[in-house]
Chains A and B, each alone.
Chain A
Amino acid sequence: EPEVTQTPSHQVTQMGQEVILRCVPISNHLYFYWYRQILGQKVEFLVSFYNNEISEKSEIFDDQFSVERPDGSNFTLKIRSTKLEDSAMYFCASSEARSRGFGYTEAFFGQGTRLTVV
């Protein structure tokens, strides 16, 4: 069964360092997403990406964050200068379609990358 894969599973970084979280979405999917979950809190939407550009982003997704699809298979989330409060589990997801008008299908999530900023 196709799945979304994320690497690494756990990353520890020093405050102020840049990190790149990597995801390989399901191959025929067109929409890609990042969500995060701070320990003990809700899973929160960060950003969605379609046709090589951001389609929606939350207020969390500020200038410190960026996303990229550098090739035909990878989807990355970059945090330029990490803060302690960026420590969280980051989930990548992908879907075939987006919303009701486009033929809605559910999102498939990866296993997550646990980011620890020290």
Chain B
Amino acid sequence: AQSVTQPDIHITVSEGASLELRCNYSYGATPYLFWYVQSPGQGLQLLLKYFSGDTLVQGIKGFEAEFKRSQSSFNLRKPSVHWSDAAEYFCAVGNPNFGNEKLTFGTGTRLTIIP
């Protein structure tokens, strides 16, 4: 069965500093990988996705993520965070044979930005 681990429950970063949110997955083959963000009172917004091809994917809001098969990781990065990036971030893995069904989410990482 597929699973996702986000080891950091809460991260605090200074505005303008770089950010890396960790995500490790367990899946027998190459999964579909996603990062979603949830701002307070908002739904889950897709930041970026990996299906195949280039292992470094670019997303919205200046985010990028790198798929590393050898480490079963899909870490999210941003070179310089803004106060508006404060939110909850969810990594998710999907089975290519089931698509959006049975997306498996991590527990989320809450990002706090300090001035």
Contacts and interface: CB of A to CB of B under 8 A. Distances in A.
Contact of B98 (A44, A97, A99, A111): A99
A104 B43 contact: no
Contacts of A6: 43
- Grouping DSSP codes into helix (H, G, I), strand (E, B) and loop, the B interface class, with mixed when no group exceeds half, is loop
A33 interface: yes
Interface string B26-55: 000000101010000111111001010000
Interface stretch (A13-21, A35-43, A75-83): A35-43
Residues of A contacting B: mostly: mixed
B7 interface: no
Contacts, number: 79
Interface string B84-115: 00000010100111111111111110000000
A97 B103 contact: no
Contacts of A4: 43
Given A31-B99, A91-B43, A99-B98, 7 more contacts: A42-B108, A45-B104, A56-B98, A97-B99, A99-B99, A104-B96, A109-B45
